[in-house]
């Protein structure tokens, strides 16, 4: 099998965790006698520094020609601390999502039995939690065309816009995931206040007719935020709009004990992007301490989906579980005095593939 993989390492710890995922991918490539080509490309703050554009045209063309995109992280404090910056790394991420048609973000939230004590929640609350968050990715307030500030600078405004087509597309994805799991779908909105949320609820109700086996529950976003913490095991598949999904999926990530454990896939019209859910963690960049497991597990999702190799994905998941059970982990989830470096974890995973 020959496949093309675009490699967008990005900023901060992105290059370090992507490097470990590539070690694992190359080990799989060798084990299964496949042939992959890897094409690096710039995105985020590093792309701004070198080209002035957080998502250069060259990067886009590389992604368009790829079977899958492995992505690290973007973000840099010098842009975060400058509210007047006209170009930001995050604009590159939004541009990539829009141009590649990355309409649905899939974030699995699962717990590892040997790490439950690392969760901020009590064991009896978190044990057995296993759900998928599906977030619409190319619409909503992040992409509203009418935005800005008044001339005197004292007011600012953004617009939240959704079409029925955008909602229907990601809703069908969510129902399909629910059909493959426990046949329960939770739709999160703010229909008591927002017109866009009422369109979401209406569209989901219409779509539900096509999936009579799936139990559908509607939760207002504030209630959902509480229930994800109070009873995470009740959820199976959650679907929601862009901003709500951004916030809730990060909230859900801490259930596992570390944001460095959770992968994601952004499913697109032209290609799909696989990335850890964590940010660029600039404080840890270059220190060889970042947890690479979320990026490695994102590679597993890539094998299972875009590359059509579920056996390879399972092998990666199994070796990650072994590394956790045997304590071959970074400082964020290690027991006191027993931490391994980022590169050590990557080497161990690749060797044990």
- Residue 29: pLDDT band with limits 50, 70, 90: very high
Q: Are 135 and 308 in contact (CB under 8 A)?
A: no
Distance from CA of residue 4 to its chain's centroid? Answer: 21
**Residue ranges per structural domain of the chain:** 1-106+262-353, 120-135+148-256
Q: 344 an active-site residue?
A: no
Query: Can you give the pLDDT at residue 1?
Result: 81
CATH code: domain 120-135+148-256 is: 3.40.718.10
- Residue 254: pLDDT band with limits 50, 70, 90: confident
Which of 3, 99, 118, 190 is labelled catalytic? 190
Q: Are 168 and 203 in contact (CB under 8 A)?
A: yes
Q: Which of 84-88, 274-278, 306-310 is the least confident region?
A: 84-88
Other Cβ atoms less than 10 A from the Cβ of 157: the count is 10
Query: For all residues of the chain together, what is the average pLDDT?
Result: 95
Query: Can you give the pLDDT at residue 337?
Result: 77
Q: Are 310 and 255 in contact (CB under 8 A)?
A: no
Which of 55, 79, 103, 142 is labelled catalytic? 142
Question: b or e along 86-100 (b: 16 or more beta carbons within 10 Å of the residue's beta carbon)?
Answer: eebbbbbbbbbbbbb
Sequence length of the chain is 353
Query: Can you give the pLDDT at residue 215?
Result: 98
Q: Are 295 and 331 in contact (CB under 8 A)?
A: no
213 or 85, higher pLDDT: 213
Which of 80, 130, 158, 250 is labelled catalytic? 250
Opening angle at CA 133, ends 129 and 139, nearest 5: 165
> The tokens of 80 are what?
């975060």
Res. 307: pLDDT tops 80? yes
What is the value of pTM for the model shown?
0.91
Opening angle at CA 107, ends 74 and 174, nearest 5: 130
User: Cα–Cα distance between 249 and 106 in angstroms, integer?
Assistant: 10
Query: Can you give the pLDDT at residue 42?
Result: 98
Q: Which of 13-27, 84-98, 339-353 is the least confident region?
A: 84-98
Other Cβ atoms less than 10 A from the Cβ of 195: the count is 11
> The tokens of 191 are what?
């229909």
Res. 336: pLDDT tops 80? no
280: nearest Cα among 8, 9, 11: 11
pLDDT in tens, 191-220: 999 999 999 999 999 999 999 999 999 999
Query: Can you give the pLDDT at residue 219?
Result: 98
Between the alpha carbon of residue 317 and those of residues 279, 294, 296, 297, the distances in Å are 22, 11, 9, 7
Q: 190 an active-site residue?
A: yes
Taking residues 112-122, report their average pLDDT: 88
Q: Would you identify the CATH topology of the domain 1-106+262-353?
A: Isopropylmalate Dehydrogenase (3.40.718)
User: Cα–Cα distance between 109 and 255 in angstroms, integer?
Assistant: 8
Taking residues 163-182, report their average pLDDT: 97
76 or 217, higher pLDDT: 217
User: Cα–Cα distance between 266 and 37 in angstroms, integer?
Assistant: 21
Residue by residue, DSSP assigns 199-236 as HHHHHHHHHHTT-TTSEEEEEEHHHHHHHHHH-GGG-S
Q: Are 95 and 54 in contact (CB under 8 A)?
A: yes
Q: 57 an active-site residue?
A: no
Which of 80, 158, 246, 347 is labelled catalytic? 246
Q: Which of 112-116, 179-183, 321-325 is the least confident region?
A: 112-116
> The tokens of 204 are what?
């989901």
Helix (H, G, I), strand (E, B) or coil at 334: coil
Which of 222, 270, 311, 338 is labelled catalytic? 222
User: Cα–Cα distance between 9 and 74 in angstroms, integer?
Assistant: 8
Query: Can you give the pLDDT at residue 256?
Result: 85
Q: 250 an active-site residue?
A: yes
Q: Are 43 and 92 in contact (CB under 8 A)?
A: yes
Domains 1-106+262-353 and 120-135+148-256 are alike in CATH topology = yes
Taking residues 15-41, report their average pLDDT: 97
Q: 246 an active-site residue?
A: yes
Res. 266: pLDDT tops 90? yes
């Amino acid at each position: 099998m020959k496949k093309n993989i675009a490699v967008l390492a990005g900023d901060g710890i992105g290059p370090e965790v992507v490097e470990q995922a590539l070690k694992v991918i190359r080990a799989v490539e060798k084990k299964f006698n496949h042939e992959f080509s890897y094409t690096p490309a710039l995105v985020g703050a590093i792309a701004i520094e070198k080209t002035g554009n957080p998502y250069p045209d060259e990067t886009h063309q590389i992604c368009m020609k790829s079977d899958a995109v492995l992505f690290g992280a973007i973000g840099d404090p010098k842009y975060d601390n400058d509210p007047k910056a006209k170009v930001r790394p995050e604009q590159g991420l939004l541009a990539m999502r829009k141009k590649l048609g990355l309409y649905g973000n899939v974030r699995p939230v699962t717990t590892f039995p040997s790490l439950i004590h690392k969760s901020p929640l009590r064991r009896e609350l978190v044990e057995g939690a296993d759900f998928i968050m599906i977030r619409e990715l190319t619409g909503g307030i992040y992409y509203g065309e009418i935005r800005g500030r008044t001339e005197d600078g004292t007011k600012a405004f953004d617009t939240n816009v959704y079409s029925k087509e955008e909602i229907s597309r990601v809703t069908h994805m969510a129902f399909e995931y629910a059909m493959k799991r426990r046949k329960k779908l939770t739709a999160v909105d703010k229909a008591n206040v927002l017109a866009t949320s009422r369109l979401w609820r209406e569209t989901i109700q219409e779509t539900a007719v096509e999936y009579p086996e799936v139990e559908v529950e509607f939760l207002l976003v504030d209630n959902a935020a509480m229930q994800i913490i109070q009873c995470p095991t009740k959820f199976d598949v959650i679907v929601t709009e862009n901003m709500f999904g951004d916030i809730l999926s990060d909230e859900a990530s801490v259930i596992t004990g570390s944001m460095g454990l959770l992968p994601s896939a952004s499913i697109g019209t032209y290609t799909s992007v696989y990335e850890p859910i964590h940010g660029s963690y600039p404080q840890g960049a270059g220190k060889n301490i970042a947890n690479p497991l979320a990026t490695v597990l994102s590679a597993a999702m890539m094998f299972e989906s875009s590359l059509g190799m579920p056996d390879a994905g399972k092998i990666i998941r199994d070796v990650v579980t072994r590394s956790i059970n045997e304590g071959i982990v970074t400082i964020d989830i290690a027991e006191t005095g027993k931490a391994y470096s980022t590169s050590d974890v990557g080497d161990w995973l690749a060797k044990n593939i």
